[in-house]
Structure formats: C-alpha cells, structure tokens
Copies of this chain bind each other. A is one copy, B any other.
Amino acid sequence: MFEKLALIGIGLIGSSIARATRLKGLAKTIAISTRRQETLDEARALGLGDSYTLDPIEAVKHADLVILCIPVQSYGPVMEQIGPYLEPGAILSDVGSVKGYVFRQMEPHTPKGVHLIPGHPIAGTEHSGPAAGFPELFINRWCVLTPGKTVPAEAIARLTAFWSDLGSNVELMEPTHHDMVLAITSHIPHLVAYNIVGTVSDLEQATQSEVIKFSASGFRDFTRIAASDPTMWRDIFVANKDAVLEMLGRFTEDLQAMSRAIRWGDADTLHAHFTRTRAIRRGIVAAGQESAEPNFGRDRGKH
C-alpha cells in the first residue's frame, strides 16, 4: 500500500502502528526516528522497523507516508526540520490528541503537493514506551482524520484505507469540533482522575496506605488513566486550553450543585441525578465501546 512509512517517535502509539503495519503488510519499509538514542535502541531491539535514525530528515526522505507520533509541543521544531524534505505526493499525518493546535503547527511547514491529514486514533492504554505497543490496539477503535481543505479525496481515501486495515473505523471531522468532543470524552476525565489521585497523594502517609488498601471501592478505577504519560497530557492541556476550560467550567458548576444538595440533605435532587446517568452507560455498552461484564471484566477467570 505504501513504499515507505516514516514514524517520527515510537511510543505506545507509534510502536503499535509499526507492529500492525508489518503484520498487515501495509508498507514495504518502515523507517523509525526518535530524539533519544535510548528509545531508538529499544525500538531496534524490538525489531519494530527496517531502518533507525536520530535524524528525522533521514527518515522522511522518499517516504510516501509520514506520521508524527511525538508529544504535540514538539511538532513545531520537528516540522521546521523535515518540511523541506517531504516528498511531493506524500501524506503527512500524526496521532496527536488535539487537532486545532497541531494543524496550526504543521500547516505552515507543509510544502505544496504534500497532503496534510492530521489524525487521532482513539485508542491507548495507561502504559507508555515502545514496549507497550501491540498490533491489535486499533481494532474496533475510532480514528478521526481532520484533513486540510485542499487535500484531494484520493489522499484521504488512501489514509482511510490504511487505518481501516489496522482495524479502525474512520471518521472525518473539523479540527475544532474534534477538540470540543475530546475535551469532554477524554481531557476532562483525565484531568479529574489526575486531580483525585493528586488529592490522595497529599493525604498523610498512614491514610494514604489505607486508601491504597481499600481502593477497590471506586478509587482504583481513576488511577488507571491517571497513570498515563505525563508529558503527553501536559501538552494536551496546554494545546487545548479553550475547550478544556469551557468543559471544566460546566463540570465544576455541576459539582457545586451536587455539593450544595449534599450540604442541605436534598435527597431527591441527588437521586434524580444518580438515576439519569445510568442511560449513558447503557448507550456506551450498546455502541460496542465497552464490556457489559461487571468491573470491566477485570475479575474474569480469576476464581
């Protein structure tokens, strides 16, 4: 399908793309570039690609598909470097979790004739690094593409086919709409999870051990996403500030209303609120986005 895939960055997502591309035979060669020697050595030891370099220019030369898999704050300098060496007709994409910001970073450095189609595979785990990837990561997950307005339909179809072959369902979106939807589905949940785990880690040591001990009562669910890559998440919040603050404002208002209901013993308001939230869970299970098993199925086969 592609002659040469260049992956700039090889963490959880990049390494999963490499593995799945190899498995499905979607590119003749895979070039991997990283900033740090250590990560490059790890990728080489795992046999993720065909060539390995610390120089992103080397990686993108003659590549017909280039995917940035690095924290979004690094896009500017990297684009400045590789921009002039991108091949005419090549597709330039990424996997960042915000799309308005990355579009503004990538677009000025994209030469005429190169097709800029930023992407966001909505898939991942709480683990990071090249060893954390696996080829099935994208199966039955969504991948959102936010192509530039002048990108020809054939290029979009080509990248869509690539993600379909990795197992994903592809959706096209405006970058700003993507950022608003992801603010509430992903960024606020992560912020809240990081926050509650942070509140706990400020408690005195003795209480903290008890929290760990009794975490199965709800808290442990939050710690999973609060164990995600800190650099990636720092970048997301800085890059998607407006949408995040808007949604955080709504969340905080609602929380104050709940707090008030608790303070005044307004049992009916609490009950009504706790009842209507069940429908959303059912919707998610019905949409095939979640397991219907109790406790996410985490106890399955344990006994």
Residues of A within 8 A of B (CB): 73, 97, 122-127, 132, 136, 139, 141-142, 144, 171, 180-182, 184-203, 207-208, 210-228, 230-231, 233-235, 237-238, 241, 244-245, 247-248, 250-252, 254-256, 258-259, 261-263, 265, 267, 270-271, 273-284, 287, 289-291, 293-300, 303
- Chain A binding site: helix, strand, loop or mixed by DSSP? helix
Bound-state CA distance A251–B199 (Å) is: 6
What are 26 A-B pairs with beta-carbon distances under 8 A? A136-B303, A181-B211, A185-B214, A185-B215, A185-B218, A189-B217, A189-B218, A191-B255, A192-B255, A193-B218, A201-B279, A212-B287, A213-B289, A215-B289, A220-B284, A221-B222, A221-B224, A223-B277, A223-B281, A233-B274, A234-B270, A234-B271, A237-B262, A238-B270, A245-B259, A295-B296
* Cα of A277 to Cα of B212 in the assembled complex, Å: 13
A200 touches B184 (CB 8 A): yes
A221 contact set on B, CB distance < 8 A: 189, 193, 221-222, 224-225
From B284, B290, B294, give the contact of A125 (CB < 8 A).
B294
Closest 4 A/B residue pairs (Cβ):
A125-B294, A230-B274, A186-B217, A189-B218
A193: chain B residues at CB < 8 Å are 218, 221
Are A198 and B254 touching (Cβ within 8 A)? yes
A227, B278: Cβ atoms closer than 8 Å: yes
Contacts of A270 in B (CB 8 A): 233-234, 237-238
Pair B218/A280 contact, Cβ less than 8 Å: no
| Contact in complex: B212, A218 (CB < 8 Å) | no
CA–CA, A31 to B125, complex, Å?
A: 46
Shortest CB–CB separation between residue A135 and chain B, in angstroms? 9
